[in-house]
Structure 1
Amino acid sequence: MGIRINVNARQDYSYLFQSMTTSRGNSLGNLNFLSDYASIKNGSYGKLMKAYYAKDAADKAASTGKDTETKKKSISTAADSAKTLSEIEKAADTMKESADSLLVKGSKSVFQKKNVKTTDETGKTTISEEYDTDAIYKAVSGFVTDYNDLLSKTSAASSKNLQSKADTLAAVTSANAKLLSRVGITVNSDSSLSLDEEAFKKSDMGTVKNLFGTTGAYGYKVSAQASMIDYTAAKESTRSNTYTANGTYSNVYSAGNILNSFF
């Protein structure tokens, strides 16, 4: 059955938005604010949306006389743009993944010792269990990079809630500065981290494990703070605009680009 649309009639289109909620996601499966994906797929939903926004834009143009660029602006009560919030959330997710990878236990742990065969000058061979220093360095280096990225993005946010979370993240790091220095990691004046590869590889890997691979230790706390930043950015995004006045979606958690492709 076809859908008929009378764009000239004064109609209440509010039912179009009854199934919408703000949701984060990287795939269509996570766009749970659209109750019927099929209606998007076949274009009927898009036609209704276009009709609604075309009528709305015409009414606003007639009553306010604002120029085209002004009409395209959307209203947002969030302190940061949807793009900024999306970048912070992605950085938080990446940070959490890096931290959690160092917390893995058992045979898949980066701190799992391996048998290493060595032969001395007399030809005598010995086998001993040792840490894989290169693998541990690679994992911690990724942690440092992701930490600096998250701290930078969150600290630059305008939201006081996010700034507070950035301060907490920095405080967690500051509290562990002495231990970090023992494994070649320096806490800079801006609370960012610097990793000295040579000093790190010469340090005690047991200390590194205590810092990054132990529940309740530094790495664990950073993971927890990343989760809090992720949550705060998601909450803040609900105050950000979902659609613009010209009928296209803003890029809240990158969903806007996906939705605009349908219309």
Structure 2
Amino acid sequence: MSLNINSNNNSFYSLFGGSSSNSNTIFGGLEGSIGSLSQLRSGSYGKLIKSYYAKYDSDGNLKSEGSKKSKAETGNLGQIRNESAALNKATDKLLSKGKDSIWNKVETEDEDGKVTSDYDKDKIYNAVNDYIKAYNSLVDTGKKAEGTGVLTQLASMVTTSAKAVNTLGKVGISIDTANHLNIDEDYFKNKANMTYAKDLFNGTGSYAYQVATKASMANSYASNELASITGKKSYTDQGSYAISADDVIRKFNETT
């Protein structure tokens, strides 16, 4: 898919509803479609967002901590870059079209000579499973994130999955309390409607595309933060933060 997405000053609000003027928040839109909304509100990502912004004053400056980045944090940013890239690579296989697409139906002939055309469910399952493994790894690494941009995009990625939980369930994919995706292989191969699977994982605007978009943006933020730490590249206007910490805390509290 090779997404190349620039961050902007409204990126913080992607988690809360799309823009600073949108009163119909993304959390509010979830209430009618999923029963696990409280998991997002009180879960690890929600707590991380609150605890992170509590460290900063209204001007975005640390209240008491030094601004020096630790070696561990630098390593975490590098891991986020690698794992977000791995997720996008796994998504590329699902989004691929044309003669090499895993969604092309294949013909098989039984012993009576009857020819049927169907999806290669083994190939599709393997691709979806690779996506899930990469997704879960990035979720776990993201819990250690310190940067506002990275944390917000990965939290938004988790929210995107929660919005799709009902459709994911139709192909045997569930979300646990750690925000991990889990797939039931037998259900996926033998009971799931592959039309639902294709709608979820193939095409611009699909669930997988939206998640990869968030991962790509997290990758961009992580790259900017690493550049800032190492001094190889300074922040640009696209990497700046235009809203205060108090604004974000208030916005988050309004939705939780």
Common fold by TM > 0.5: yes
Show the counterpart of 2:29.
Answer: none
**Distance in structure 1 (CA, Å) of the matches to 2:195 and 2:96:** 15
Cα shift readout 1:74-100 (whole Å, capped 9, x = no counterpart): x97447622111111000000000011
**Distance in structure 2 (CA, Å) of the matches to 1:87 and 1:176:** 26
Show the counterpart of 2:206.
Answer: 217
Show the counterpart of 2:93.
Answer: 101
Show the counterpart of 2:78.
Answer: 86
Residue identity in the other structure for 1:216: G
SS at match of 1:107: coil
Distance apart, 1:190 and its partner CA: 2.5
SS at match of 1:115: strand
Distance apart, 1:214 and its partner CA: 2.1
**Distance in structure 2 (CA, Å) of the matches to 1:165 and 1:188:** 20
> How is 1:66-85 mapped onto 2 (pairs within 5 angstroms)?
77-78=68-69, 81-85=73-77
**Distance in structure 2 (CA, Å) of the matches to 1:76 and 1:128:** 63
Distance apart, 1:154 and its partner CA: 1.3
**Distance in structure 2 (CA, Å) of the matches to 1:223 and 1:158:** 21
Distance apart, 1:128 and its partner CA: 1.4
TM-score by length of 2: 0.61
| Contact kept in structure 2, 1:77 and 1:239, CA below 8 Å | no
Indicate whether 1:231 and 2:243 are aligned: no
| Stretches (4+) displaced over 3 A | 75-80
**Distance in structure 2 (CA, Å) of the matches to 1:77 and 1:217:** 40
Which structure exhibits the higher relative contact order, with contacts defined as CA atoms closer than 8 Å and separated by 6 or more residues? Answer: 2
Show the counterpart of 1:208.
Answer: 197
Show the counterpart of 2:143.
Answer: 155
Show the counterpart of 1:177.
Answer: 165
Distance apart, 1:242 and its partner CA: 5.4
Show the counterpart of 2:102.
Answer: 110
**Distance in structure 1 (CA, Å) of the matches to 2:210 and 2:78:** 22
Distance apart, 1:165 and its partner CA: 1.3
Show the counterpart of 1:39.
Answer: none
Question: What is the aligned-residue identity percentage?
Answer: 27
Highest CA radius of gyration, 1 or 2?
Answer: 1
SS at match of 1:229: helix
| Contact kept in structure 2, 1:78 and 1:239, CA below 8 Å | no
**Distance in structure 2 (CA, Å) of the matches to 1:100 and 1:241:** 31
| Contact kept in structure 2, 1:210 and 1:217, CA below 8 Å | yes
**Distance in structure 1 (CA, Å) of the matches to 2:144 and 2:104:** 38
| Contact kept in structure 2, 1:76 and 1:240, CA below 8 Å | no
Cα shift readout 1:54-107 (whole Å, capped 9, x = no counterpart): xxxxxxxxxxxxxxxxxxxxx974476221111110000000000111000011
5+ residue gaps, structure 1? 1-74, 244-263
Show the counterpart of 1:190.
Answer: 178
Residue identity in the other structure for 1:109: S
Residue identity in the other structure for 1:175: K
Residue identity in the other structure for 1:98: A
Cα shift readout 1:229-251 (whole Å, capped 9, x = no counterpart): 110100111221359xxxxxxxx
Cα shift readout 1:156-206 (whole Å, capped 9, x = no counterpart): 212222221111000100000000011010011232101111111121112
| Contact kept in structure 2, 1:99 and 1:219, CA below 8 Å | yes
TM-score by length of 1: 0.59
Show the counterpart of 1:58.
Answer: none
